[in-house]
């Protein structure tokens, strides 16, 4: 199976898992339920994911993966916010995942297994961000500066996503891209490029 096909199957599993978690609750949802919802055997499901909670990972990693792509193409002399907005695709990219992801992020507050996946996703993203930022700056990814910059970016993205998810119950909720933009500006990634 091609990597593209595997990625689509993982996303299908993630969406079905969120729907089941929302409908039945995390505790009441079984691996058999998830496998049946996507039309595969439970044994095949466990080849994709080690636990039922980890089945949601693709929905949580997607926006962070996109941010990694934006970091790799970020030109000198431009703020990260301006770069992300100049690519034009960021708002569209985030719309595709908004509904199930907001449910999932809110769910993480009450479900330790989902929270563990949420925090693992961000920990992995932080390591990736440190590597990309270090390459950009000609620095070591393990240097204090690279790690702090990556942690700052990662924290801004995590808090923005949590804030956005909480506000989805409002009559006129903000978009994920607008909330991320505000968080990045607040964290210093906005008006001017960060000094290196």
The pTM of this model reads 0.85
Per-residue pLDDT of the chain (196 residues; tens, 9 = 90+): 688 899 899 999 999 999 999 999 999 999 999 999 999 999 999 999 999 999 999 988 887 888 898 899 998 888 888 888 876 656 665 666 567 888 889 999 899 999 999 999 999 999 999 999 999 889 999 999 999 999 999 999 999 999 989 988 788 888 888 888 889 999 988 865 444 4
Phi and psi torsions of 3, nearest 5°: -60, -35
Q: Is 77 left (phi over 0), alpha (psi -120 to 50) or beta?
A: left
- The answer to whether residues 21 and 29 touch, using CB atoms and an 8 Å cutoff, is yes
Q: Tell which residue, 55, 59, 63, has the closest CA to residue 32.
A: 55
The DSSP symbol for 193 reads: P
What pLDDT score does 147 carry?
A: 95
What sections of the chain are H helices per DSSP? Answer: 3-24, 31-38, 42-48, 57-72, 80-86, 90-95, 98-108, 112-137, 144-167, 176-186
- The answer to whether residues 122 and 162 touch, using CB atoms and an 8 Å cutoff, is no
- The answer to whether residues 59 and 117 touch, using CB atoms and an 8 Å cutoff, is no
CA distance from start to end of the chain: 43
Orientation of helix 112-137 relative to helix 98-108, angle to 10°: 110
Q: Say how many residues make up the chain.
A: 196
């Amino acid at each position: 199976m091609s990597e593209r096909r595997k990625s689509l199957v993982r996303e299908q599993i993630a969406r079905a898992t969120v729907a089941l978690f929302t409908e039945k609750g995390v505790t009441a949802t079984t691996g058999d339920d998830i496998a049946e919802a996507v039309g595969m055997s439970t044994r095949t499901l466990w080849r994709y994911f080690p636990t039922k909670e980890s089945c949601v990972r693709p929905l949580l990693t997607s926006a962070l993966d996109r941010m990694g792509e934006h970091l790799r193409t970020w030109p000198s002399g431009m703020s990260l916010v301006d770069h992300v907005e100049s690519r034009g695709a960021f708002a569209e990219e985030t719309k595709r995942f908004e509904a199930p992801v907001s449910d999932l992020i809110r769910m993480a507050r009450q479900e330790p297994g989902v929270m563990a996946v949420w925090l693992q996703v961000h920990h992995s993203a932080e390591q990736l961000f440190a590597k990309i930022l270090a390459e950009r700056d000609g620095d070591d990814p393990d240097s204090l500066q690279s790690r702090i910059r990556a942690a700052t970016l990662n924290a801004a993205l995590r808090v923005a996503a949590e804030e956005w998810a909480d506000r989805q119950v409002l009559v006129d909720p903000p978009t994920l891209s607008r909330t991320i933009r505000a968080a990045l500006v607040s964290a210093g990634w906005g008006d001017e490029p960060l000094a290196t």
